[in-house]
Structure 1
Amino acid sequence: MRYAERVSESRSDAARGPVVEIRDVTTDGRGVGRLDDGRVAFVDGALPGDTVRIEITRERTSRVDAVAVGTIVASPDRVDPPCPHQAACGGCPLMPLAPAAALALKVRHLEQTLRRVGRLAIETDEVIAAPRTERYRTRLRFAVAPRARGVAVGFHAASDPARLVPVDDCLLGPGEMTRIARRAVELIAARTAEEDDAAWPTHVTVRGTRDGAAFLLVLEGIDAPWTAGRTIGDALCEEIPALRGVHVIGRARRGRSPAPRHLAGARRLHDTIGPFAVAVEPGGFLQVNPDVAERLYAC
């Protein structure tokens, strides 16, 4: 279902700021337009083709940061995002854009970057779209709310990176990923003392095989020693058959994270990308979109 082309404004919206036509979007998903005085406006919640009323949140000499508070004309390329968390979550800013329009936008950004940085005038003849836009990722990294706020895992808000948006199911990965992350935090809350902040993770990463049959869990931000860690890891692997191993990584020091420490189950997973056998390590690097990785390996 597409958005209506025209959306009425409330009186409060109409009194809050100028109207801007959005002509482009940044790589982090903010709409780009111009004010009547010539300054560039970067607008949260707006996409190319939108005409929106904005509330300015920060002003500079040549630019302003703003948020869309009313839609006057909605882009014809807008679609209803499948994720109920999209508007608040900062993870998928282009999800409300039709797939073909989003792909064309990414191509334009690539060509602009090559011209601006590499001085290369390259035009793309063919673009191969990823076959899946949902449930394709083999790695998800969830932020964890402080213990005092209860058990909550999710992603940082688009409008305020300090605020956590709880998510019950991230559509980018298999549903089991979110369940593993949340259950891990629930067990830590139940089996460690409330005052033991050193045993509370800041982030939880879940890595899996491309078929979604096996996963590794990495608890981040927990420093050694962690006496309850092995017991919690064993309990998680026993409770969730698809979870094959649990690891922990301490807090980063001077921008560098320590090596993962094994707690329970398998130390790594084994997967394939095309004809190649690959190891899925708790701290290793693999393309998170295996369908696209397979195409790259075939080149």
Structure 2
Amino acid sequence: MQTLRRLPGFLPGARPRISCRSIATKARSDITLTAGDVINLECTDLAFGGDGVCKLEDGFVVFVPRALPGEKLSAKVTSAKSGFARARKLETLTPHDHVDTPQCQHFGPCGGCALQSLQYSAQVGLKEHQVRSLMRRLAGVASTTLEDIVRPIIPCEHPYEYRNRMEFSLDPDSLELGLHYPGSQDRVLSIKNCSLQEPLANEMLAQIQNVLMKHGVLDDDLKRGNAWPANQTQRRSSYSKGRDRDGPQRVLEHVVIRHSVAERNYLVNFVTNRDARDLLAPVVEELREKFKDSLAGCVNSVAAKGRPVAERRIAKEYTLEGNGYLVETLGGLEYEISPNAFFQVNTRQAEKLFRYVLEAAAVQPDDVVLDLYCGSGAITLLLAQQCRRAHGVEVSAIAVDDARKNARRNHLTNVKFTAADAAAPLHPKLLASDIIVVDPARPGLTPNVVESIRSTTARRVVYVSCNPSTQARDIGALCDPNDELVGRPFKLVAVQPVDMYPQTPHVESVAVLERI
């Protein structure tokens, strides 16, 4: 088998090289900036990821988080290179033309949202522009056909209180739950109310904070006679590592609040680094008493050892209250969602996303459908209703278990789920699929997966992505007409942006490719 030629920037697990240098096309090497310099700038664009693209008078580019197009500002340089610099915004000198009043009291220092000060109509306009730009630069879509291929973005009817899942980390200084500061993995901002989740979820957050402290879960080691490091830096280090040599062992890692729109109830997941059922029992009892019918269940998930915390897998799950899962309804099907399984965080917008995926797939009754990175089987099961046979592949065994339960729950017998890495060689039977759907994580597809897709007999590929930059890179590889590559190329026929994450710079994108 021939090897897929690696395109520039195409590395397994790597982001495409839409580097700062590639954006800073007008940068001049004779500009001299050093860290600490205070400069006045004008923001002209928004880079993918949310940083403002600002320019000095001669075009030298400076990237500034939280700067918005049209805004004039002063900023302090944090790093400088010959081609571009980075800076921190100090003051807005002249606001942009689409100013909006943030609804959240934590906007600014909180890393959860970056666009609340921008009117929603302008937010979706920027995201649509970003997708078009990425498709032109990375997928090679000609400017003359860009308007026809990239469709107008599907906006969100409810740009606040839309998230069905929020994760709150523990601040090692205040022992309060919150969200991380922008760009930080160890500094946590205490959060009282989050405008992206529903009011009842905020009530739960406040109650959880109170009862955790009341019953000693947050200072369990103090009760055991262990002393906290007096130095704040050492204390934070102790929490980030899980244990300081002479300090306490952290028990709680973070708390996840999940919400079912269909059932109108919540699941609380306490993620700890050891079995904490004994500590959490009185906490759960108070939550049950306080929220009664709104509480579907509580779970204690024990994270495996290792660092960083964000990448730890879950070693064990203990159900403390209720069934230990949520049930959500999408597209007329019911989905059982385990505490740590992936599911779209914007339920109402997911209905629109899945509706477009079904339309784009254009499945025929005799088709065989392959769904790579299928998660809990949401898209696979919807497609299974329309085809002869559907096969979902997902690396997470927990998600595959959910997917199989969901197939039984919805009485679908023409679907199969396999726990496997999509990057592994596909079984020969799967190469004969008629329609392929892929929904990878942010790093996108590896060259092996691109090669496998090109090797199939599929007539259409529907590529769902939460990262249009890696998606555009992969489209370029799938559509590459080079005769030396394995398989026949595809052509890009449509791209549909969907705003799944209002108030943030992130955007979902669905690309439709047809075999040439």
TM class by shorter chain equals: 0.7 to 0.9
Q: Distance in 2 between matches of 1:18 and 1:199?
A: 43
Q: Distance in 1 between matches of 2:137 and 2:252?
A: 41
1:131 aligns with 2:157: yes
Tell me the equivalent position of 1:31.
52
Decide whether the 8 Å contact of 1:230 with 1:264 is kept in 2.
no
Look up the equivalent residue of 2:279 and give its one-letter code.
A
Distance 1:17 1:61, change over 3 A: same
1:85 positional shift: 1.2
Q: How many residues align?
A: 283
Tell me the equivalent position of 1:287.
344
Decide whether the 8 Å contact of 2:277 with 2:320 is kept in 1.
no
CA deviation profile, 1:118-160 (whole Å, cap 9, x unmatched): 33344333322111101111111112212x524x222112265
Q: Distance in 2 between matches of 1:111 and 1:252?
A: 41
Q: Secondary structure at the match of 1:228?
A: helix
Identity %: 24
Q: Distance in 2 between matches of 1:256 and 1:167?
A: 24
Give the counterpart of 1:243 among 272, 291, 295.
295
More relative contact order, 1 or 2 (CA 8 Å, 6+ apart): 2
1:203 aligns with 2:254: yes
- Trace 1:245-264 onto structure 2 (pairs within 5 A): 245-254=297-306, 255-258=311-314, 259-264=316-321
Query: Which structure has the larger Rg?
Result: 2
Give the counterpart of 1:87 among 108, 112, 126.
108
Q: Secondary structure at the match of 2:128?
A: helix
Decide whether the 8 Å contact of 2:273 with 2:304 is kept in 1.
no
* Structure 1 segments unaligned to the other structure (5+ residues): 1-14
Q: Distance in 2 between matches of 1:252 and 1:26?
A: 36
Q: Distance in 2 between matches of 1:168 and 1:208?
A: 18
1:74 positional shift: 1.1
- Taking structure 1 as the reference length, the TM-score comes to 0.85
- Taking structure 2 as the reference length, the TM-score comes to 0.51
Q: Distance in 2 between matches of 1:237 and 1:68?
A: 45
Tell me the equivalent position of 1:8.
none
1:211 positional shift: 5.2
Q: Secondary structure at the match of 1:114?
A: helix
In angstroms, what is the RMSD of aligned CA positions? Answer: 2.4
CA deviation profile, 1:84-113 (whole Å, cap 9, x unmatched): 211211111011111111101111111222
Decide whether the 8 Å contact of 2:262 with 2:329 is kept in 1.
no
Q: Distance in 1 between matches of 2:59 and 2:133?
A: 22
CA deviation profile, 1:179-208 (whole Å, cap 9, x unmatched): 323322332222233436556322211001
Q: Distance in 1 between matches of 2:269 and 2:82?
A: 44
Decide whether the 8 Å contact of 2:272 with 2:303 is kept in 1.
yes
Tell me the equivalent position of 1:265.
322
Distance 1:69 1:228, change over 3 A: closer
Q: Which runs of 4+ in 1 moved over 6 A?
A: none
1:177 aligns with 2:171: no
Look up the equivalent residue of 1:110 and give its one-letter code.
V
Which segment is superposed worse, 258-267 or 133-142? 258-267
Tell me the equivalent position of 2:334.
277
Tell me the equivalent position of 2:212.
188
Distance 1:201 1:181, change over 3 A: farther
Decide whether the 8 Å contact of 1:244 with 1:265 is kept in 2.
yes
Give the counterpart of 1:45 among 66, 72, 96.
66
Q: Distance in 1 between matches of 2:276 and 2:178?
A: 26
